[in-house]
Amino acid sequence: MADFWIDTHSHLDAPEFDPDRAAVIARAREAGVRQVVVSVMPSTFEAARQAAIDCDGAYALGSHPLFIHKVGTDAPERLRDALQRWRDDPRLVAVGEIGLDGFVPEIQDEASREKQDVLYAAQLAVAQEAGLPVILHVRRTADQLLKHLRRMKAEGRAVPGGIAHAFNGSEQQAEAFVELGFCLGFGGAMTFDRALQIRRIAAWLPEDRLVLETDSPDIPPHWLYKTAEARAQGERSRNEPAQLPRIAETMAELRGWDLGKVRKVTAENACSVLPKLKLLLASMR
């Protein structure tokens, strides 16, 4: 697996890539990056799957908490139906992006928080039924996410691990995810000198729990970042999977590794925590 960089979190199907998706895919291939395309709601399931086919990568299906007001109460059942329909597709490797968001103001009222919680719990149950790992949205919500994971484990219904995407919690929370079989995802945010907590955890975490991601087109690294003033003037920054090897240079610096070791370790970890991804990549060799 060390022949590839693995971007464990790409939104290649996002509209930001509509003008030049083929060129984005070509640049990723040139950089040696394989992608896990992560969906955000049932209406994007087909697009995420097609994007994974187009880039010769993998995909995950789920409803993101930021889209709770765009999905119906049938979202968990639609997820279950999709997992059943594509259960034999080797590219389907996880349930995601699911989770909870404690940052975006529009979904912090009591009703929205409750809806997030119900949707997350229901999708965890669907993932457990399907025997698939989960890719979690973790933003100021690590303790709540862990509470549900621990409850399911206590009930004998533990999900088979997964990835805590764009992790930005404490060392104690990082340890708790690791104990539950999760890897932590590191991407563009890690490249900022001021991201002290993220960089500290990226340097400290056991090496078998590190994976890389871009969250394309979001979370640009520092060299693509646009200030609020620039954004107000219409400038936009767009991350893409081809940036992953350069993002990995930061992890190499933080851990005192060469890039070859970063690629090998993070690719092996991605394949370990997403077992179907390992089988998929092995079939491509």
Per-residue pLDDT tens digits for 125-143: 999 999 999 999 999 999 9
Mean of pLDDT values over 219-240: 83
Question: Beta strands 134-139 and 162-165: pairing type?
Answer: parallel
Mean of pLDDT values over 231-235: 68
Taking the C-alpha atoms of residue 90 and residue 232, their distance in angstroms, rounded to an integer, is: 43
Residue with token string 């975006």: 104
The pair of structure tokens assigned to 24 is 């984005």
Q: Say what the pLDDT of residue 1 is.
A: 52
64 marked among binding-site residues: no
Return the percentage of the chain with pLDDT > 90, whole number: 93
| Full-model pTM | 0.96
Q: Say what the pLDDT of residue 2 is.
A: 58
9 marked among binding-site residues: yes
Q: What is the pLDDT of residues 144-158, one digit of tens each?
A: 999 999 999 999 999
Torsion-angle region of residue 96: left (phi > 0), alpha (psi -120 to 50) or beta?
left
Mean of pLDDT values over 249-262: 98
Q: Say what the pLDDT of residue 232 is.
A: 67
Closest CA to 212 of 17, 21, 35, 65: 35
Q: Say what the pLDDT of residue 147 is.
A: 98
Question: Beta strands 58-61 and 92-101: pairing type?
Answer: parallel
Closest CA to 4 of 272, 265, 275: 265
Which residues, including other chains, have CB under 8 Å from residue 196's CB and lie 6 or more apart? none
User: Which whole-number Å values give the CA distances from 107 to 134, 203, 276, in the listed order?
Assistant: 22, 33, 33
Q: Which CATH number fits domain 5-284: 3.30.360.10, 3.20.20.140, 3.20.20.10, 3.40.640.10?
A: 3.20.20.140
Closest CA to 91 of 52, 63, 54: 52
Q: Give the model's confidence band at 230: pLDDT under 50 very low, under 70 low, under 90 confident, else very high.
A: confident
69 marked among binding-site residues: no
Q: What is the pLDDT of residues 3-37, one digit of tens each?
A: 899 999 999 999 999 999 999 999 999 999 999 99
Q: Say what the pLDDT of residue 227 is.
A: 75
Average pLDDT, the chain: 96
Q: Say what the pLDDT of residue 226 is.
A: 75
215 marked among binding-site residues: yes
Q: Say what the pLDDT of residue 225 is.
A: 84
Q: What is the pLDDT of residues 166-199, one digit of tens each?
A: 999 999 999 999 999 999 999 999 999 999 999 9
Q: List 135's β-bridge partners, or say none.
A: 96, 163
CA-based torsion, 39, 43, 47, 50: positive or negative: positive
Q: Give the model's confidence band at 229: pLDDT under 50 very low, under 70 low, under 90 confident, else very high.
A: confident
